[in-house]
């Protein structure tokens, strides 16, 4: 199972390209490029917050776990 960052998908849905995401988020181009291409194994909380604010999404919408065969049960009791 792999955690993926849906940055490219969500940004493009809002009409944003890589450069626009970098400028508007305040992150470095290196960071944004790695997240855009899913070429990183970690995301700082500061970067996660900046991207979520920019895209107007919750962290769980930006980060997804691929290959999970279970569904979250939080709040489904």
Q: Considering the domain 2-64 in this protein, what is its CATH number? A: 1.10.260.40
DSSP one-letter code for 41: S
Give the integer Cα–Cα distance in Å for 60 and 25.
Answer: 18
Choose among 42, 54, 12: nearest CA to 31: 42
Measured over the CA atoms of residue 14, residue 29, residue 31 and residue 1, the dihedral's sign is positive
pLDDT per residue as tens digits for the range 37-54: 999 989 999 999 999 999
Q: Quote helix, strand, coil % in the chain, to nearest 5.
A: 50, 10, 40
pLDDT per residue as tens digits for the range 2-28: 889 999 999 999 999 999 999 999 999
DSSP one-letter code for 70: S
């Amino acid at each position: 199972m792999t955690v993926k960052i849906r940055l490219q998908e969500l940004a493009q849905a809002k009409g944003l390209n890589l450069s626009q995401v970098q400028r508007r988020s305040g992150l470095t181009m290196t960071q944004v490029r790695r997240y855009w291409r899913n070429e990183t194994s970690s995301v700082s909380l500061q970067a996660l917050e900046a991207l979520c604010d920019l895209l107007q999404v919750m962290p769980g919408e930006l980060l997804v776990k691929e290959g999970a065969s279970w569904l979250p049960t939080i709040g489904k009791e």
